Amino acid sequence: MTIAELTRLIKEKALLLGFNDIGITTPQRLEKEKKAFEHYLANNFQGNMSFLKKTVNQREDIKTIFPEAKSILIVVASYYPKTIQQNAQYAISYYTYGNDYHRIIKNKLKELLLYLQQIKPETKGKIFCDTSPIFEKAYASLTGMGWIGKNTLFIHKQLGSFVFLGGIVSNIELTADKPELKSCPPNCRLCINACPINALKEPYVLDASSCLSYLTIEERNEQSVFHNPTPYIAGCDLCQKACPYNSTSHEADNKWFLPNEYVYWDTHQWNTVNPDTFQNTFKNTIFLRIGYPIVKRNMKLATPIKPPISQNK
Ligand code: SF4
Ligand code: SF4
């Protein structure tokens, strides 16, 4: 089988499994991304995620974690929801609506790798989804599927930025796609202006330590106090909602991340959730990783949406 045929088969399989898109690139030193990451760390924008400091060299060169690397497959799965939260005065980020994406995407990637191994038994591969020291967004851009936006998120050409990324680095040669030359319009600052706490310091530079996505999920000190002028208690979508490239996100129609029942909760249900109901309701979701005390802390710090006057009576 030729490399081109194998590439075609693996791409077809990825779409059959339910991914919205797949692109392929080759291992390469990501020096520009390394410099940007060092700048980020030098400014302590990583908050308490100090473990990131140890990952600089691995991120720059994927061969330090997978020496036989010859190809990198990047998959895209849209999580744009069909139903939007309407009943509560608290908001949760779209990506928390469904079950925890790490497990779902990794399981699908395992199937994809198995398929590759059935065709080519000598295939070895390492699966990744968000938790490995790999510049996933940079590799996704190199596949031509999209680019990194000024809000620091990967923007897929058709699906926008409400997408999860994952991938496989493998020892098999595949036909690489061409990088995307498109980028954000030079004058657009909609995402930067939409951030209520100026966490986007400048285009392409996020201070994660002040970003609500980080503070509501990664800041695990129950006593922590931070300014939150938004109703978000898990993640934050404001800079993504402002982005014009998300106007077609709804067309993705991915069934993997269907909204769980808590998306329909009203404010009273959120306010009265106890540790037992929390455990049952949020099993298989990212909320369990955040933990009950932190979600309660986030509810105290958030600025709930004011109910309509008619409900206020
Ligand atoms: S996620 Fe929210 S807090 Fe973070 S940069 Fe975007 S708008 Fe700002
Ligand atoms: S809002 Fe504008 S600048 Fe920001 S990511 Fe979207 S296109 Fe780029």
What total number of domains does the chain contain? 1
In a domain, 47, yes or no: yes
- Looking at ligand 1, which atom is closest to the CA of residue 93? 1
In a domain, 74, yes or no: yes
pLDDT (average), residues 169-177: 98
pLDDT tens column, 112-133: 999 999 999 999 999 999 989 9
Domain assignment of residue 238, given as a range: 1-307
Yes or no: say if 302 and 87 are a contact pair by the CB < 8 Å rule: no
The pLDDT, as a whole number, for residue 308 is 58
60: left (phi over 0), alpha (psi -120 to 50) or beta: alpha
In a domain, 171, yes or no: yes
Best residue for ligand 1 mutational test, from 193, 209, 238 (most atoms within 8 Å of Cβ): 238
Yes or no: say if 27 and 70 are a contact pair by the CB < 8 Å rule: yes
Is 61 catalytic? The answer is no
The pLDDT, as a whole number, for residue 313 is 39
In a domain, 313, yes or no: no
- Looking at ligand 1, which atom is closest to the CA of residue 152? 5
Q: Which residue reads 């620091």 in tokens?
A: 152
Q: Indicate the pLDDT class of residue 59, thresholds 50, 70 and 90.
A: very high
With a 6 A CB cut-off, is 212 part of the ligand 1 pocket? yes
> Which of residues 51 and 5 earns the better pLDDT score?
5
Nearest CA to ligand 2 atom 5: 149
Distance CA 287, CA 285 (A): 5
CA trace torsion 151, 157, 162, 163 (10° rounding): -110
As a 3-state breakdown, the chain gives helix, strand, coil percent values, each rounded to 5, of: 40, 15, 45
Residue 312 has pLDDT above 50, yes or no: no
pLDDT tens column, 244-299: 999 877 766 788 999 999 999 999 999 999 999 999 999 999 999 999 999 999 99
In a domain, 202, yes or no: yes
Which ligand is the nearest neighbour of the Cα of 47? 1
In a domain, 312, yes or no: no
Best residue for ligand 1 mutational test, from 153, 195, 201, 303 (most atoms within 8 Å of Cβ): 195
pTM to 2 decimal places = 0.94
Nearest to 303 by CA among 94, 86, 89, 95: 89
In a domain, 2, yes or no: yes
Q: Indicate the pLDDT class of residue 309, thresholds 50, 70 and 90.
A: low
Provide the token pair at 166. Answer: 């994952």
Residue 307 has pLDDT above 80, yes or no: no
